[in-house]
Amino acid sequence: MSRTASLVLAMFLLIVVLVAIPWTGSAQPRTLVVLSQAGTLQQIMQEEVVPIFEREFGAKVTLIPGTAQANLTRVIAQRNRPEVDVAIVNDIAQVQGKQQGVWERLDSSIVTNLSSVYDVARDPEGYGVAQGITATVIAYNAKVFARLGWKPPTSWMDLLDARYKGRVVPHHITNGFGVTFLVALNELLGGKGADLTPLWSRLPELNQNTLLWARTSSDFDNAFAQEAGWIGENGATRINVLIDQKLPLHVVYPKEGGVFITAQLAAVRNAPNPRLAQQFINLILSEPIQKRLSETQYYGPVNAKVQLSPETAARVPYGVRQVRSLKVLDWAMIAANYDQWISRFTSIIGR
């Protein structure tokens, strides 16, 4: 066979092989799956965080909204074959997940912004970090209080005042804001640590004042939007969002102090995209994103380098002194007793 004929045959065979290989187009981008929070935080993530991440890392991001406990339950159920990469949970779910071994330790060589985060906002063993700081505080309907000639509340004990019977909207103990309020109230009543005896003895009294025990943010929002609820507790973040929506609410830091509470970022152990998960967390901790979370969601920044305008700073926990003024709870102790507390709480309130 001549050399020319050999080249022709080789080219023919190559064409046959290429035709036989199915065309799949360009490589599909990786998809980072994030269990997020619902509501306005989900919206800001979708509109501002996700586009930046997708553009910078060439990956797609899928946000799946849910409550903190629902997100944790999903991660635990998938622990042998995780389908998600990052979970946004609350403080107690972060501790419970760490105890269950479903979180991956954060890598400071990837999550480089960790070095700028307040110590109190980082898990001491590296299994999570707060995305923002808020405080459990008192909310009240300023219009109703003015109409009735009442002075603003000043203490957690005010929620037990008989004047507010049927108008109090506290959060259920299964909600992060609820458990922080109840533990703070127990300590004010003389309780210590895991012993909630003083709280249990006064809970029927609080229950008589209660319009409803809010399990979700929408429960609380609707009660105050309809002016059925007049006073309650919530995160300062959420109250400020409702104020922006023209609800006549005011924020009160009780004289006993607001309670430190956060939304936590956790990388899922054995996640499909472990490096992307850490990079996503690092982006949220960056100065620009932290600033936007403060401006739109009223989270206090966990990144100490963030500079806020005076207007925003006045509405969020901001700066070392203010962050340290908040009461920090023992979440490991709470997690160890949580199921028992839920059972006792439910047996007392009867709903």
Task: Extract the tokens encoding 332.
Answer: 């490991």
Asked whether residue 19 is domain-assigned, the answer is no
In the block, tokens 């956060």 appear at: 262
Helix (H, G, I), strand (E, B) or coil at 104: strand
Is the domain of 310 the same as that of 343? no
Asked whether residue 144 is domain-assigned, the answer is yes
| Pairing between β-strand 103-104 and β-strand 129-141 as defined by DSSP bridges | unpaired
Q: Which range marks the domain in which residue 302 is found?
A: 31-133+262-318
| pLDDT value at residue 18 | 40
Is the domain of 37 the same as that of 50? yes
d(CA 157, CA 148): 20
Q: Which residues pair with 234 in a beta bridge?
A: 137
Asked whether residue 212 is domain-assigned, the answer is yes
Asked whether residue 14 is domain-assigned, the answer is no
d(CA 141, CA 197): 31
Across 66-95, average pLDDT: 95
| pLDDT tens for each residue of 203-245 | 999 999 999 999 988 899 999 999 999 999 999 999 999 999 9
CATH of the domain at 267: 3.40.190.10
Is the domain of 126 the same as that of 138? no
CA distances from 305 to 89, 116, 234, 324, 325 (A): 24, 7, 27, 16, 19
Is the domain of 206 the same as that of 303? no
| pLDDT value at residue 42 | 85
| pLDDT value at residue 3 | 53
CA distances from 157 to 88, 160, 328 (A): 32, 6, 19
| pLDDT value at residue 8 | 41
Among residues of the chain, what percentage have pLDDT more than 90?
84
d(CA 159, CA 168): 7
Helix (H) or strand (E) holding 260: strand 259-268
Residues 6+ apart with CB under 8 A from 217: 38, 39, 238
236-258 burial, b at 16+ Cβ within 10 Å, e below that, comes to bbbbbbbbeeebebebbbbeeeb
Q: How many domains does one find in the chain?
A: 2
Structural contact between residues 184 and 202, judged by C-beta atoms closer than 8 angstroms: no
Asked whether residue 17 is domain-assigned, the answer is no
Structural contact between residues 168 and 206, judged by C-beta atoms closer than 8 angstroms: yes
d(CA 209, CA 163): 9
Query: Among residues 82, 15, 26, 89, which one has the least CA distance to residue 58?
Result: 26
| pLDDT value at residue 14 | 45
d(CA 92, CA 261): 10
Q: Residue 22 class from Cβ within 10 Å (0-12 exposed, 13-18 middle, 19+ buried)?
A: exposed
Is the domain of 35 the same as that of 121? yes
Is the domain of 109 the same as that of 249? no
Helix and strand numbers, DSSP H then E, in the chain: 15, 9
Task: Extract the tokens encoding 188.
Answer: 């004010």
Is the domain of 138 the same as that of 206? yes
Asked whether residue 175 is domain-assigned, the answer is yes
Is the domain of 291 the same as that of 337? no
Is the domain of 200 the same as that of 300? no
8-state DSSP, 40: H
Is the domain of 73 the same as that of 216? no
Across 52-72, average pLDDT: 95
Average pLDDT score, the chain: 91
Q: Residue 109 class from Cβ within 10 Å (0-12 exposed, 13-18 middle, 19+ buried)?
A: exposed
Asked whether residue 168 is domain-assigned, the answer is yes
Q: How confident is the model at residue 24 (pLDDT cuts 50, 70, 90)?
A: very low
Q: Is the pLDDT of residue 12 over 70?
A: no
Asked whether residue 15 is domain-assigned, the answer is no
Higher pLDDT, 319 or 26: 319
Is the domain of 250 the same as that of 312? no
Is the domain of 125 the same as that of 197? no
| pLDDT value at residue 313 | 93
pTM over 0.75: yes
Structural contact between residues 178 and 219, judged by C-beta atoms closer than 8 angstroms: no
